[in-house]
Structure 1
Amino acid sequence: MLKQILKTDKKCLYKFAYNMGIKGARGIQRFQKRIKNGDFFPAFHFISVTDDCNLNCQGCWVTHKKQNARMSPEMLDSIITQSKAKGSYFFGILGGEPLMYKPLFDVFEKHSDCYFQLFTNGTLLTKDIAERLRKLANVSPLISFEGDTEIADVRRGGKNVYQKAQAAIDHSTDAGLITGVAMSVCKSNIDLAFSDEFIRSLIDRGVLYLWYYIYRPVGQDATVDLCLSAEQIEQLRLFIVDARQKYNIAIIDAYWDENGKGLCPAASGLSHHINASGDIEPCPVIQFATNNVADGDLESIYRNSPFLAGFKTEIPKLTTGCIVMDDPQWLVNYTKQHAAKDTSGRENEAERLSKMEKVSSHGSAKPVREKSWVYRFAKKRAFFGFGAYG
């Protein structure tokens, strides 16, 4: 880890430590205090700023929309400003491909007191873009890897995606950015996920964190055939726990607490997703909403939303995993009960979920306690940041 840190720009390190670390911990404390007082406002948001993308990935929630949306800079600014007033300074920026959103860098610059995690496929992350991010210092690129040369093109619906993602890593680390790599683990890339050569290559190139999450069948091109089996999910959990002690890189997951029990950030209220149209969704893969940012101030919306409140009370009764995978029909019935709007942009999400078979999710894995005291402490006391997009 020291090798990667020494390659990191000092201003980027400072912004990460202060905006992300200190302010993030304070944000979690304020969130926990609100929960104890019976109030609610998420500790942080994940925001999809645009539906536009230059790829066509399997399991992507924004593909094949009837019309792409782009969030107005004014709405994005309002979300961030209102969140800061509640002590929340961390934001995950998603798409589509967020680097196709033209006002993005103006927002990063205006809110220099915040920290942003940029979810990107890497194909547009050039040297010039990396240098702009270095000067801002408050953004961590999280570059997606979906497989090797052949698998990546199939999963991503593009050409030379693997090579472009590799180049993006080099541009990012060469600029001294806090660089992460993410992998949506599925049947076609699980061997790469467990590859010692792959992980050590990331370490050698200055990547600071590696984030594993589980493929979820979402979107028009979703296929359950790629979903991990219960046995493979257990293998992934065991691998993550051991890898944290073996490799000099932060290994992130969004699914298990310090004792290995499954969790859902949306069900805990820790985070929610706002799509490019301003719809407030439980998480990116649950594409239903009863409220929009334009309806009023966020604090009142969260305080008075039966739809979001029900997720916190009902989901834990059903699963410690992902409700989309464990019981899609229950989700359909729940959204009908609350007259929730289909926010997928395809107008067929309830029908798709009704036809989808149940598959194993992270709640299927047997509890495996964290071996590292550092990860146990972080998950118990400050489970936030790079591991809460579930």
Structure 2
Amino acid sequence: MRETRTGATFSDRELLNRPKRSAEKPWKNLKRDWILHGMIKRILKNTDRKCLYKFVYNMGVKGSLSFARYQRRLKKGDFFPAFHFISVTDDCNLNCQGCWVTHKKKNARMSPETLNRIIEETKAKGSYFFGILGGEPLTYKPLLEVLQKHPDCYFQLFTNGTLLTPEVAGELRKLGNVTPLISFEGDEVVADVRRGGKDVFRRTVEAVENATNAGLITGVAMSVCKSNIDLALSADFVNSLIQKNVAYLWYYIYRPVGADSTVELALDKAEIQKLRQFMVDARSQFDIAIIDAYWDQNGNGLCPAATGLSHHINASGFVEPCPVIQFAAENVNDKPLENIYRESAFLKTLRNDIPHKTSGCIVMEDPNWLVDMAEQHKAADSSGRENEAARLRAMPLVPSHGSGVPVPEKGWIYRFAKKRAFFGLGAYG
């Protein structure tokens, strides 16, 4: 049984069958519309016009069309992801807990020719959105030069922010088609521990200000774990971002991966449920977009990699289901992407079988099964540490977003956006 704010109790089944939005009070709909109006007004006022146009057209219009193409391909049995996430380098100036990139035997850097070819091959399939990851992508010197070649695309730059100077923000404004997503992992004390650096909190705040002062569509991301969940669910934290003109706040669930997986930071089931409820409620309380990539419009857990929405290409060119599944049977340096997706038995098996195992994260809920599948398909360890199978077999099971009672979205705009996959853009965490 579960208790509501009024003190009434419901069974899980009754919770799932509660009336939808049509039964809500009219004033609640008006409040959500007012919040949406305030958010749009704030973004229009504070965003550079070129950046705004590129966001609306490249991301919005073309993103919708590319997703429709993806759906048509699936109906014809022609699989190719709706979008790609690309790690351009393993280099980073921090050393974060739960990072899948650190402590490799040798860091890799993708050649600009390979990066350009991946973008071109993806565009040929009618997809124009890309997530750019690292390591820290701003350590990758050819990055802006490559992005400049593709003004018809939209790029989300996953960055720790410590290198996002006013000068870099100005260059991104000139491009217009890049939204920096700046990782914000805790307060003055927690941030340094989580990120393995010094004075990280202040440097992150400065990065946010540099980006918004340049008129960029700016996002803040938080990998929610036990050490920062109180901050993550704080109204003061959300309001501080609004005051800095941040356009969107993206919540992830901490996933224990990499050489320093720090499993004890993983959320328990009650904390995951609390996070999910907070996000749904916050969408109608704050004039900032609240984004997640783990639940659909009905509140059911999903894995974007298992649905085929996105796949990840690491800095060595290995094609992985997502950044935290570090096994691969194909490399972009060996054959075109279209051939890889048409022929890869490993990727196809994971897409088909993971949904039967969990609606959450297979790495967290059944790592042994994942290793068995990798070995069955002779998939290589793409972690760069050469011990991923042993690490996963020794890792304790932890809850993921597949657990808990579904909490459906309340607002029509979020239901529509999630249904169209705009808010399920990745498998980064």
- Fold shared per TM-score above 0.5: yes
One-letter amino acid of the counterpart of residue 309, structure 1: K
Q: Which residue of 2 aligns with 1:173?
A: 212
Q: Which residue of 2 aligns with 1:389?
A: 427
Contact 1:89 1:115 in 2 (8 A): yes
Measured on the aligned residues, the alpha-carbon RMSD in Å equals 0.8
Q: How many residues align?
A: 389
Contact 1:287 1:344 in 2 (8 A): yes
Deviation at 1:311, TM superposition (A): 1.2
Partners in 1 of 2:394 and 2:42 — Cα distance? 49
Deviation at 1:295, TM superposition (A): 1.5
Partners in 1 of 2:209 and 2:314 — Cα distance? 30
Q: Is 1:224 paired with 2:295? A: no
Q: Give CA deviations for 1:165-189 in whole Å, capped at 9, x if unaligned.
A: 0000000000000000000000000
Q: 1:82 to 1:307 in 2, by over 3 A?
A: same
3-state SS of the aligned residue for 2:333? helix
Q: Which residue of 2 aligns with 1:299?
A: 338
Partners in 2 of 1:69 and 1:255 — Cα distance? 29
Contact 2:85 2:426 in 1 (8 A): no
What aligned pairs does 1:75-154 form with structure 2 within 5 A after superposition? Answer: 75-154=114-193
What aligned pairs does 1:37-76 form with structure 2 within 5 A after superposition? Answer: 37-76=76-115
Q: Which residue of 1 aligns with 2:3?
A: none
Deviation at 1:5, TM superposition (A): 2.7
Contact 1:252 1:387 in 2 (8 A): no
Partners in 1 of 2:213 and 2:227 — Cα distance? 30
One-letter amino acid of the counterpart of residue 119, structure 2: I
One-letter amino acid of the counterpart of residue 154, structure 2: Y
Q: Which residue of 2 aligns with 1:164?
A: 203
One of 368, 382, 394 as aligned partner of 1:343:
382
Deviation at 1:3, TM superposition (A): 1.9
Q: Which residue of 2 aligns with 1:209?
A: 248
Deviation at 1:39, TM superposition (A): 1.1
Partners in 1 of 2:173 and 2:110 — Cα distance? 25
Contact 1:24 1:385 in 2 (8 A): no
Contact 2:293 2:423 in 1 (8 A): no
Contact 1:118 1:142 in 2 (8 A): yes
* Displacement over 4 Å in runs of 4+: none
3-state SS of the aligned residue for 1:272? strand
One-letter amino acid of the counterpart of residue 96, structure 1: G
Q: Give CA deviations for 1:37-67 in whole Å, capped at 9, x if unaligned.
A: 1110000000000000000000000000000
Partners in 1 of 2:183 and 2:314 — Cα distance? 20
Q: Is 1:250 paired with 2:321? A: no
3-state SS of the aligned residue for 2:207? helix
Deviation at 1:304, TM superposition (A): 0.7
Contact 1:173 1:207 in 2 (8 A): yes
Partners in 1 of 2:44 and 2:261 — Cα distance? 38
Q: Which residue of 1 aligns with 2:404?
A: 365
Contact 1:20 1:385 in 2 (8 A): no
Q: Give CA deviations for 1:104-124 in whole Å, capped at 9, x if unaligned.
A: 010111011100000000000
One-letter amino acid of the counterpart of residue 407, structure 2: V
Q: Which residue of 2 aligns with 1:355?
A: 394
One of 35, 60, 63 as aligned partner of 2:74:
35
Q: Is 1:317 paired with 2:356? A: yes
Q: Which residue of 2 aligns with 1:9?
A: 48
3-state SS of the aligned residue for 2:251? strand
Unaligned runs of 5+ in 2: 1-38
Q: Which has the larger radius of gyration?
A: 2
TM-score (normalizing by structure 2): 0.90
Contact 2:99 2:257 in 1 (8 A): yes
Q: 1:118 to 1:255 in 2, by over 3 A?
A: same
TM-score (normalizing by structure 1): 0.99
Deviation at 1:275, TM superposition (A): 0.2
